[in-house]
Structure 1
Amino acid sequence: MTAPPPDVLVVLTDQQTSDAMGVAGNPYLRTPHMDALAAAGTRYRQAYCAQPLCAPSRASLLTGQPPSALGVTGNEAAGQDGSAPEPLLGRVFAEAGYDCAYGGKWHLPELDLPEGRGFRRIHPAGNDAGLARAAAAFLRRPRPRPFLLVLSFLEPHGICEWARGQDPKTGPLPAPPPVAECPPLPANFPPAPYEARLPRLAQRAWAHTHPTAEWREDDWRRYRHAYYALVERVDANLGTVLDGLREHQRRTGRETVVVFTSDHGDGAGAHGWNQKWALFEESVRVPFLISGPGTAAGEVSDRLVSTGPDLLPTLCDLAGVPAPPGLPGRSVRAPEPRGTVVVETRWELPGFNNALGRMIRDERHKYVCYAWGDHREQLFDLAGDPGEMVNLAVDARHSALLGRFRALLAEHCARSGDPFARFLPATTAD
């Protein structure tokens, strides 16, 4: 007898860096529900967003295409023809017989899910606790078909408002404890020698987004405390959802594929950086947890994942749904793992023409190239230098490795039609 198709639950947080979970070894916050998901499934430690900005990342997650291919490189979320990207995920699963529902932040470009996008809306954006309750109610209702439920929480994005002296949209945070009780600064807090100039110029030009120029170390420690408190807030709401899911599973006996990830990370004080955009690890590496049928419990994988292009084929693979042809991503269960992962970025600031960059990494090394600016090339050995403090690109002893990564990025641009190709340095070492 053929097993019924599994239900699928996708939980998306906003601006959560990969290490902002207890299960990732972070002792400065408690995330029991994220940790439980990791214990029940596989945690991918090397998962990267498609672009560290809300709308481009979400467009990629829902379509399986990189942001530059969609023409969505800013939060206005208009494609190359001026229209919003076609979100394939809901349509693909609806055609396979799934009941497709969505709750929370949409941001493509509307904050709330509009009609005709492949999902029906169960709850608007703006109230994470209400979204969790609406999801639990959805899970309690009997239904004849399997479901695909996507939940998009606001937090810990509220750190953006907190940094400006405003309350997060989900409500104010308690006053921070004494600085001595706040999390310490990360080891890579100071700006690194030979760091790229372009992100710093954007940081200084955008004081509303980066109100941190005059911050002292104590301010950054309070920032980290607030950031982790917002992660704990979203973890509590995840617990409400998982309680509803367990009740659903007990009642129906159905299996559920659960995927937990975030649209992008946050600097969290590393390199003296708040927010996203820059291609630092803290901004581009995100949580990626999968549990359910077809996944091993309690495993930690260092397989490279590009969450935007890879999410759709992964969900199709786990649910037994045919994936759309021609997608550039691959399931995390594909026999051949990725050799590299690419991340895009772009600042859209007045006077900052072509303020864009690309990152490509393999199992050990990471190469970053911005379109212009001093030290626009960055090369790191992440095995020995996970904080990205030593830029090997300025050291002639690593010219062969630098040339290899220049060639890898050039190959990617040629294969994908990435417009960043015109900003590539020569592919041979100087």
Structure 2
Amino acid sequence: MTDRPADDRPADDRPVDDRPVDDRPNVLVVLTDQQTAEAMSATGNPHLATPHMDALAAAGTRYRQAYCAQPLCAPSRASLLTGQLPSSLGVTGNEGGAEPVLGRLFADAGYDCGYGGKWHLPELDLPDGHGFRRIHPAGDDAGLARAAAAFVRERRDRPFLLVASFLEPHGICEWARGQDPKTGPLPAPPPAEDCPPLPANFPPAPYEARLPRLAQRAWAHTHPTEEWSEDDWRRYRYAYYALVERVDAHLGTVLSALREPADGPEQRQEGRRETVVVFSSDHGDGAGAHRWNQKWALYEESVRVPFLVSGPGAAAGAVSDRLVSTGLDLVPTLCDLAGVTPPPGLPGRSVRAPEPRETVVVETRWELPGFNNALGRMVRDPRHKYVCYAWGDHREQLFDLTADPGEMVNLAVDARHAALLDRFRSLLAVHCARSGDPFARFLPAPRAG
């Protein structure tokens, strides 16, 4: 396989399907907040039950290697709604804003576009414009589920695009600080022996990167975990999975509306328009791996997210290991499935493109007082993963995710893997040069010889 620069391939260039609007499907995009990829029972996780996520997976395709653009809310959401990387948009922290293209694009194509729940670009609620009408504010997941179901049932003579952006399981952030999640308190955890076990990669790994650990210790309000016992971490995992189950129930409310007759005799069940459903999350959560809660760090648990696609154009009951950059690929995928012409120049591609991407790039940045240039980049190919932080001991990480899915063996410190390390350095260097990524000045030079 020929090495290619990371994430700079053009969008799928197949002929655009310019179907009349009457022939196009509805599109439902459901986003959760801070859900790691393995937090679904469809993945074989026995420690939670997510029947509605599982039903979507059974009805469509589950992409196991889907990665967010940046493990932080606003940058990831900016990427999801524009098809650009956060560094290209200048949105690398939670205060940044961008001009999303998704709503205007589909509105211009004749879609009735609704958005409910968390926006965070940077306003928490959707402001006026952007091609969407707001159906429900952020922070009330139960109300959002009801509003989304009502939107789906509305009488209309054209297809809809609905983005339902739920808050949970983000409430684990508050729970870790001894506060109630915004969607309501959780029951007290059971005894530790009845909580989910610790993951196999719970201990910090040898030769781990120093920068994320320094940030963790400097931000005790966000990471109140330094003195936690193993039982505390087990209770954390119990609470996290309980919040995922909570949002799964709300997903069920929305999906049930798709199966009900629409208002109006002319839209009876047998004549209803088909619906494409895409389910994902803005980023993951450490979930106790490497003794990590929250996001930011480029661990798999923080950057790999669920990505389910069902409906017309998606294979039912399929599981794919195709690499997906959710931030870059969501807009092209929705355009492809709906027959809408995508904006020119997008760097992503539809998950149905004939040629899969060979690499995914993920960015990160901490905005902490006293932490200058607290940046990192990740490059993932089908087997290996390279992480480079701007500074700190062991700032380069290299993992064979087939042999070491828990990222416990850093191959970058082993001279036998020097050629592989140089390959990933080169991939990231070319990506930075072509995308104008300012991380270029922090790239290590390839080894001589």
Give the alignment's TM-score, normalised by structure 1: 0.97
How much has 1:46 moved relative to structure 2? 0.1
How far residue 324 of structure 1 moved from its aligned partner, in angstroms, is 0.3
Amino acid at match of 2:212: P
* Contact preservation (8 Å) 1:50, 1:309: yes
2:127 corresponds to which of 110, 114, 118: 114
Tell me how far apart the structure 2 counterparts of residues 421 and 120 of structure 1 sit (CA, whole Å).
39
Could you list the per-position Cα deviations for residues 127-179 of structure 1 after superposition, in whole angstroms to 9, with x for gaps in the alignment?
A: 10000001111111111110000000000000000000000000000011111
Matched residues in 2 for 1:236 and 1:426: separation? 50
- Alpha-carbon distance in 2 for matches of 1:338, 1:218: 41
Task: Give the counterpart letter for 2:95 in structure 1.
Answer: E
Residue-pair matches, total: 424
Structure 1 contact 410–427 (Cα < 8 Å) conserved: no
* Paired position in structure 1 for 2:100: 87
Q: In the alignment, what sits opposite 2:76?
A: 57
Pick aligned residue for 1:17 from 28, 36, 40? 36
Corresponding position of 2:160: 147
Q: Is 1:385 equivalent to 2:404 in the alignment?
A: yes
Distance 2:176 2:270 in 1: 44
Matched, 1:137 2:175: no
Contact persistence 1:313–1:323 (CA under 8 A): yes
- For the pair 1:7 / 2:7, whether they are aligned, the reply is no
Does structure 2 conserve the Cα–Cα contact (< 8 Å) formed by 1:87 and 1:118?
Answer: no
1:335 to 354, 360, 363: 354
Distance (whole Å) between structure 2 residues aligned to residue 71 and residue 85 of structure 1:
8
Give the distance between the partners of 1:248 and 1:136, measured in 2 at CA. Answer: 12
| Partner residue in 2 for 1:373 | 392
Which residue number corresponds to residue 45 of structure 2? 26
Partners in 1 of 2:198 and 2:171 — Cα distance? 20
Q: 1:258 to 1:429 in 2, by over 3 A?
A: farther
- Show the counterpart of 2:4: none
1:248 deviates by: 4.7
The CA distance in 2 between the partners of 1:285 and 1:247, in whole Å, is 33
- The 1-side partners of 2:333 and 2:294 are apart by 28
Aligned to 1:226: 239
Q: Name the residue aligned to 1:81.
A: none
1:96 — aligned with what? 109
Corresponding residue SS for 2:128: coil
CA displacement 1:281-322 (0-9 Å, x = unmatched): 000000000001111000000000000010000000000000
* Distance of 1:305 and 1:429 partners within structure 2: 33
Tell me the equivalent position of 1:73.
Answer: 92
The SS at the match of 1:422 is: helix
CA distance in 2, matches of 1:400, 1:329: 28
Deviates more, 1:39-48 or 1:240-249: 240-249
Q: Note the C-alpha offset of 1:116.
A: 1.2
Letter in 2 for 1:75: N
Describe the shift of the 1:230–1:338 C-alpha distance in structure 2 as closer, same or farther (beyond 3 A).
Answer: same
Q: Which amino acid aligns with 1:354?
A: N
Structure 2: distance between partners of 1:126 and 1:392? 42
Q: Distance in 2 between matches of 1:154 and 1:403?
A: 40
Alpha-carbon shift at residue 235 of structure 1 (Å): 0.1
Q: Which residue of 1 aligns with 2:13?
A: none
Contact 1:400-1:429 within 8 A present in 2 as well: no
Name 1:80's counterpart in structure 2. none
Cα displacement string for residues 64-93 of structure 1 (whole angstroms, at most 9, x for unaligned residues) = 00000000000001xxxxxx3111000100
Which residue in 2 is equivalent to 1:273?
292
Check whether the contact 1:291–1:297 (CA below 8 A) recurs between aligned residues. yes
Q: TM-score, normalised by structure 2?
A: 0.93
- 1:377 is displaced (CA, Å) by 0.1
In 2, Cα distance between equivalents of 1:396 and 1:118: 53
Output the CA distance in 2 between the equivalents of 1:70 and 1:377: 25
Residue 162 (structure 1) aligned with residue 175 (structure 2): yes
Q: Does 1:182 align with 2:195?
A: yes
Aligned to 2:430: 411
Question: In the alignment, what sits opposite 1:192?
Answer: 205
Going from structure 1 to structure 2, the CA distance change for 1:248 and 1:59 (only over 3 Å counts) comes to farther
**Distance in 1 (alpha carbons) for counterparts of 2:201 and 2:347:** 34
Q: Residues 111 and 248 (structure 1 numbering): CA distance in 2 closer, same or farther, change over 3 Å? A: farther
Is 2:48 the counterpart of 1:35? no
- Root mean square deviation of aligned Cα: 1.1
Q: 1:123 aligns with which of 126, 132, 136?
A: 136
The farther-off stretch of 247-256 and 360-369 is: 247-256
Letter in 2 for 1:19: E
More deviation, 223-232/115-124: 115-124
Instruction: For structure 1, list consecutive stretches of 5 or more residues without a partner in the other structure.
Output: 78-83
Q: Which runs of 4+ in 1 moved over 4 A?
A: none
AA partner of residue 82 (structure 2) = T
Equivalent position of 2:305 in the other structure = 286
CA distance in 2, matches of 1:55, 1:248: 36
Contact 1:139/1:248, CA 8 A, preserved across alignment: no
Aligned-pair CA distance for 1:253: 2.0
Counterpart of 1:255?
Answer: 274
- Per mean C-alpha deviation after superposition, the further-off stretch among 419-428 and 186-195 is 419-428
Deviation, 1:339, is 0.4
Measure, in 2, the Cα distance between the counterparts of 1:330 and 1:207: 39
> What displacement does 1:224 show?
0.1
SS at match of 1:247: coil
Indicate how the Cα distance of structure 1 residues 251 and 230 shifts in structure 2: closer, same or farther if over 3 A, else same: farther
User: Residue type matched to 2:233 in 1?
Assistant: W
